[in-house]
Amino acid sequence: QVQLVESGGAPVQAGGSLRLSCARSGYRATSYCMGWFRQAPGKEREGVATIRSDGKVTYADSVKGRFTISEDNAKNILYLEMNDLKPEDTAMYYCTQKPGGYCPTSQAQYRDWGQGTQVTVSS
């Protein structure tokens, strides 16, 4: 049984920064993909950033240069450092993972999800 628990979401002004955390517990395959997705009201859930077990990272074009995904394997925590936040970054942010070292863009292919943490950016 895998558990993912996000934290760190908060209201913030445009240009500000936040760091989201995702504490994970339970079984994790040797080869895996973990990531952050977000969902704004009335919109579909979209991928933000992913990290593979071999360290390869990918970002959505909208967050490149502003967001950084990383993981602390010793603490079993996934992070998302978000800088220069914009109102369009406002969304519920979800942590997710799947076995296997492939990181698909579709949320449907991810197996485990956290409950989400809300990020609200005001102009």
Q: Are 82 and 19 in contact (CB under 8 A)?
A: yes
The average pLDDT across 108-119 equals 95
Task: Using the predicted structure, report yes or no on whether residue 30 has a pLDDT greater than 90.
Answer: no
- How confident is residue 101, by pLDDT bands cut at 50, 70 and 90? confident
CA–CA dist 50, 70 (Å, integer):
9
Determine the pLDDT at residue 74.
86
What rounded mean pLDDT belongs to the chain? 95
Determine the pLDDT at residue 22.
98
Give phi and psi for 102, each to the nearest 5: -105, 135
Determine the pLDDT at residue 27.
80
CA–CA dist 100, 77 (Å, integer):
18
The average pLDDT across 71-82 equals 93
